[in-house]
Amino acid sequence: MSSTSRQARTALICVAVVVFMTGAAFAAVPLYKAFCQATGWAGTARRASVAPARALGQEITVYFDTNVSGVPFSFTALQRSQRVHIGGANIAFFKVVNTSDHAVTARAAYNVSPDQAGAHVRKLQCFCFSAQTLAPHQAAEFPVIYFIDPKYATDPEMKGFSDLTLSYTFVSDAAEAPKAAPVKAEATKQARGLGAAGSAGL
């Protein structure tokens, strides 16, 4: 094999390696996110399809933390905290306002503190499950329906913890803009309807 051929082959191999590593890096992001959501790793709250059949007598305080990073949103929790029964379904509300003159698509990243509590916070419904597109100056209210897994009460790692913090940070997700359906005005009405149902008992 000539020197020129060897150099060309080496160059092709290098290009292939770079392409593979770049693809692997992009693939790792959704895979890591899916892993965290499935296991509660790194303080990530897990999804659930149904709440426990009954709540325990033990209570815990859940605090809510809201942040934005690089998006023109005003983002607040409509309650600072909730005192909830472990195993019982609860509903919390959040308000988001697009303060800009253009539509914005963003996604709420979330985690739980302390980290080891992430495996026990389960969400039935959350605006953080998908990207949200808000029109210019649009305001919307979103519900989060969640519960604390009864296993929290017997987890030795949670001994001594009487509260936890559920934190959300809205970040830009322009890549999802073509697929993200705009938030409709009805969403706020539905959220308020859930609030009324929550007041009566989930």
Q: What is the CATH number of the domain that holds 188?
A: 2.60.370.10
What's the CA angle centered on 91, arms 88 and 93, to 5 degrees? 160
Regarding whether 103 and 20 lie in a shared domain, the answer is no
The range of the structural domain enclosing residue 65 comes to 43-200
Regarding whether 24 and 54 lie in a shared domain, the answer is no
CA distance 128 to 108: 5
Regarding whether 79 and 9 lie in a shared domain, the answer is no
Pair of tokens at residue 38: 């499935």
Regarding whether 160 and 118 lie in a shared domain, the answer is yes
What's the total number of domains in the chain?
2
Pair of tokens at residue 88: 């019982």
Q: What is the pLDDT of residue 47?
A: 86
Regarding whether 155 and 59 lie in a shared domain, the answer is yes
pLDDT digits (tens, 9 = 90+) for 118-147: 999 999 999 999 999 999 999 999 999 999
Regarding whether 1 and 47 lie in a shared domain, the answer is no
Regarding whether 98 and 7 lie in a shared domain, the answer is no
Pair of tokens at residue 92: 């919390």
Write down the pTM of the prediction. 0.72
Residue 42: is its pLDDT beyond 50?
Answer: no
pLDDT digits (tens, 9 = 90+) for 71-84: 999 999 999 999 99
Regarding whether 116 and 24 lie in a shared domain, the answer is no
